[in-house]
């Protein structure tokens, strides 16, 4: 068993782990699951008894190539290794190139070890670059006479980009689910014009940051698959956010006969994604049919430039969407059920399909062009209004397994598995997200380019980026598709962290790590040391997990804080425990569990009232007049008291949630359910944007935060 345990450690597969519920139970992973994980990572192993042979193969791997695909280092310690035949070492010369410019760099080379393979002796040398280098990516050329070896050196600064304003004062803003915004003018779902108008409102009220849900593209043919955390590509945008009336070439006549439908989707309580999306796409197709004829127009030339800029990634998306539309009604099972020749994006069959469906593919590219233009218009408004941070975007931890990212590069992901989470305080049964997750070995072999791309796409136009489940930089809980339990797979944390810090620096975008759940010991301290902010929510800021609420002075300073998140019940809903009843009615918890949670919630309410009293945050004209515990009503003034309490904390950024402000009593998302059980991602805000400034709760909540 010694070789088996050593193999698992070497591959970064956890043999056991502790969950994040109150007892911190230890879970021992069975060998059958562990054996599957070894194979899923791309290392064929029939049985545990063959562990020693696989270990020996892994030990030899580093001697089979001269350099790694990439080396990621901090500015103060720029080191990489080189493996060369002994007779080539004396000729070794190293040069660095950045942006086509040769860098005059001094370096030292230190012998580490040597190994005989066949008749040849190979030596491994450590190279340390002594010259100061700016944070950037450098092409490294190693010449040994007539031979040349190439690699990349990514040099990371010590700390992420942090806006100067945060060194001077605290700032505040809003966390918004863009789709949920209601207005007199939108077509039944919040859009980029709503977001632009919201920017203006924020600037007027003194808010400097707007957090939004992931804006990534979802399924064209299945609009009801609405989870923004399960996209088909993290590189591109969801066309449903396009304001069609703002698109060049729009004519009101395009809506002829659709007036009643437009009225219906505007007035519906929840978002009718199919009706809204198909309405928008129908009109956009009419606009596109005229647009594509004007090949000499300025707008068309901008479109062609956009297509060239996003190149192969945009082509892959558009081709994938066209094939999906062709086959989704014929076969079940997504791209894996397509004809075999279409499962390979580089096949002749795919090229022939693309040629035969050129107009349709151009339309999908056009949707991205328009969406990018409208989001850029939002960013321009942010610059004009001089918001200190502006957009605070969201990068999902994974993506739908039936996605263009997996289709176009399946080997990059852990096969036959999905990302999830073990039990924690908020989700005691754990979560099976079924999201595609990077394979740490093929990701490194690709020089981390796919990871770098999604970082850059998410940072586009953003002043801050939320990395969903930031612990995935170190480890990710992976569950085989055929099972309910899994284990942790470890990534190269130093590399992943350095790349996040480097991209933050290059894009001038600060980084926030969503770290609610099962957090490894010391993890928060490590990301704080590199300038990554953590995420703080009121319900998690309690001593020993379920004790008294921490006072504002006890919150973490380097954090974005809020009352809750999109996965948690809004303030009023949580107060009454409607979320507990919802889970019971859906048979997600037993009657005993429901009763225990009600008792826990009653204790939480008592402790919250005590904390608000101790902090002296009740509004002067709405002092607390009673306990108002369960069944007795909603405490007068509690919204302002809670907003003032959390915004008064040490955290440098405070985010107000509109669901709390407007007294919403429904969950935006109930993890562990799909739309057949709960209308996730569909709830519209009950107040239209045009009425915000006349809404007493909105006005008073802002006043409480400003104070």
- Mean pLDDT by 10-residue block, N- to C-terminus, for the chain (707 residues)? 91 89 78 94 94 93 95 96 94 93 93 92 96 97 93 98 93 97 98 98 96 98 96 98 98 96 96 98 97 94 97 98 94 92 96 97 98 98 97 96 95 93 74 90 97 98 97 95 90 98 98 90 94 94 91 93 95 96 94 94 94 94 78 87 96 97 96 88 97 96 91
**pLDDT for res 221:** 96
**CB of 666 closer than 8 Å to CB of 686:** no
Which residue, among 457, 650, 460, has the nearest Cα to 555 in the 3D structure? 650
CA–CA gap between residue 638 and residue 619 (Å, rounded): 9
H-only helix segments in 81-158: 86-89
CA–CA gap between residue 207 and residue 199 (Å, rounded): 9
Q: Where in the chain is the domain with CATH 2.60.40.10?
A: 76-156
In the numeric block, which tokens belong to residue 585? 């009615």
What is the pTM (predicted TM-score) of this model? 0.95
**pLDDT for res 71:** 98
In the numeric block, which tokens belong to residue 453? 């791309």
In the numeric block, which tokens belong to residue 525? 């301290």
Count of CB atoms situated within 10 Å of the CB of 11: 21
Token pair 């929510």 is found at: 537
Backbone φ and ψ for 188, nearest 5 degrees, come out as 90, 0
**pLDDT for res 625:** 78
**pLDDT for res 118:** 86
What letter does residue 216 receive in the DSSP assignment? E
How would CATH label the architecture of 181-397? Answer: Alpha-Beta Barrel (3.20)
CA–CA gap between residue 599 and residue 399 (Å, rounded): 37
H-only helix segments in 616-695: 638-647, 658-661
**pLDDT for res 673:** 85
**pLDDT for res 626:** 76
Q: Residues 109-123, buried b or exposed e (16+ Cβ, 10 A)?
A: eeeeeeeeeeeeebb
Q: Where in the chain is the domain with CATH 3.20.20.80?
A: 181-397
**pLDDT for res 434:** 86
What letter does residue 683 receive in the DSSP assignment? B
**pLDDT for res 167:** 87
Class of domain 76-156: mainly beta
């Amino acid at each position: 068993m010694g070789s088996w345990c050593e193999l698992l450690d070497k591959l970064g597969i956890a043999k056991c782990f502790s969950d994040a519920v109150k007892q911190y139970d230890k879970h021992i992973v069975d060998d059958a699951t562990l054996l599957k994980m070894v194979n899923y990572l791309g290392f064929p192993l029939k049985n545990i008894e063959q562990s020693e042979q696989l270990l020996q193969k892994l030990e030899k791997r580093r001697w089979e190539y001269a350099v790694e695909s990439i080396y990621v280092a901090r500015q103060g310690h720029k080191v990489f290794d080189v493996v060369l035949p002994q007779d080539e070492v004396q000729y070794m010369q190293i040069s660095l190139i950045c942006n086509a410019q040769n860098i005059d760099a001094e370096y030292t080379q230190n012998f580490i070890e040597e190994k005989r393979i066949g008749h040849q002796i190979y030596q491994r040398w450590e190279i340390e670059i002594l010259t100061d280098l700016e944070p950037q990516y450098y092409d490294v050329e190693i010449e040994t006479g007539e031979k040349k070896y190439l690699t990349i050196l990514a040099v990371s600064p010590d700390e992420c980009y942090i806006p100067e304003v945060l060194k001077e004062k605290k700032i505040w803003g809003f966390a918004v689910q863009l789709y949920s915004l209601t207005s007199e003018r939108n077509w039944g779902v919040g859009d980029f014009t709503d977001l632009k108008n919201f920017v203006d409102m924020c600037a007027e009220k003194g808010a400097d940051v707007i957090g939004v849900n992931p804006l990534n593209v979802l399924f064209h043919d299945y609009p009801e698959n609405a989870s923004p955390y399960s996209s088909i590509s993290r590189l591109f945008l969801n066309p449903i956010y396009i304001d069609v009336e703002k698109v060049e070439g729009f004519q009101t006549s395009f809506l002829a006969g659709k007036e009643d439908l437009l009225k219906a989707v505007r007035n519906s309580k929840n978002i009718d994604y199919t009706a809204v999306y198909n309405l928008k796409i129908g009109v956009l197709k009419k606009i596109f049919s005229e647009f594509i004829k004007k090949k000499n127009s300025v707008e068309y030339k901008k479109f062609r430039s956009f297509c060239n800029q996003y190149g192969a990634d945009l082509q892959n998306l558009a081709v994938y969407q066209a094939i999906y539309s062709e086959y989704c009604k014929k076969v079940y099972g997504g791209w894996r059920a397509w004809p075999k020749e279409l499962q390979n994006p580089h096949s002749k069959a795919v090229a022939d399909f693309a040629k035969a469906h050129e107009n349709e593919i151009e339309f999908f590219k056009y949707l991205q062009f328009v969406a990018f233009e409208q989001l850029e218009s939002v960013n321009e408004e942010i610059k004009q209004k001089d918001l200190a941070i502006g957009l605070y975007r969201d990068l999902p931890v994974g993506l739908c397994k039936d996605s263009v990212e997996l289709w176009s590069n399946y080997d990059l992901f852990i096969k036959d598995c999905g990302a999830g989470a073990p039990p924690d305080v908020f989700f005691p049964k754990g979560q099976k997200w079924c999201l595609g997750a990077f394979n740490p070995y093929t990701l490194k072999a690709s020089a981390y380019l796919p990871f770098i791309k999604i970082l850059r796409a998410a940072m586009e136009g953003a002043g801050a980026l939320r990395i969903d489940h930031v612990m995935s930089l170190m480890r990710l809980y992976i569950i085989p598709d055929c099972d309910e339990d899994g284990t942790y797979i470890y990534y190269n944390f130093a590399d992943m962290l350095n790349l996040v810090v480097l991209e933050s620096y290059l894009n001038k975008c600060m980084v926030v790590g969503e770290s609610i759940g099962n957090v490894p010991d010391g993890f928060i301290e490590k990301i704080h040391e590199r300038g990554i902010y953590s995420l703080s929510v009121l319900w998690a800021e309690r001593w020993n997990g379920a004790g008294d609420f921490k006072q504002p002075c006890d919150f973490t300073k380097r954090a974005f804080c809020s009352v809750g998140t999109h996965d948690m019940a809004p303030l009023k809903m949580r107060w009454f425990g409607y979320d507990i009843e919802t889970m019971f009615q859906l048979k997600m918890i037993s009657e005993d569990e429901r009763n225990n949670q009600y008792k826990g919630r009653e204790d939480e309410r008592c402790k919250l009232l005590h904390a608000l009293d101790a902090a002296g945050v009740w509004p002067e004209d709405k002092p607390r007049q009673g306990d108002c515990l369960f069944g007795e009503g909603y405490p007068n003034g509690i919204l302002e008291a809670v907003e003032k309490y959390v915004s008064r904390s040490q955290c440098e950024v405070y985010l107000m949630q509109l669901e709390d402000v407007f007294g919403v009593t429904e969950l935006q998302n109930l993890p562990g359910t799909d739309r057949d059980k709960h209308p996730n991602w569909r709830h519209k805000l009950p107040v239209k944007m045009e009425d915000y400034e006349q809404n007493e709760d909105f006005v008073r909540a802002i006043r409480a935060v400003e104070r």
